[in-house]
Amino acid sequence: MQGKAIDINISGVPLHILRDVAISLKAGGVGYYPSSNFVHIDTGRIRYW
3-48 pLDDT tens trace: 899 999 999 999 999 999 999 999 999 999 999 999 999 999 999 9
How many separate domains does the chain show? 1
* pLDDT value at 1 more than 90: no
SS3 9: coil
Q: Identify the pLDDT of residue 2.
A: 87
For residue 18, what are the domain limits? 5-48
CB burial of residue 22 (10 Å; 0-12, 13-18, 19+):
buried
CA distance linking residue 29 with residue 32, whole number of Å: 10
Q: Identify the pLDDT of residue 34.
A: 98
Model-wide pTM > 0.85: yes
Q: Which residues contact 16 (CB under 8 A, 6 or more apart)?
A: 32, 34
Q: Identify the pLDDT of residue 37.
A: 98
Q: Identify the pLDDT of residue 24.
A: 98
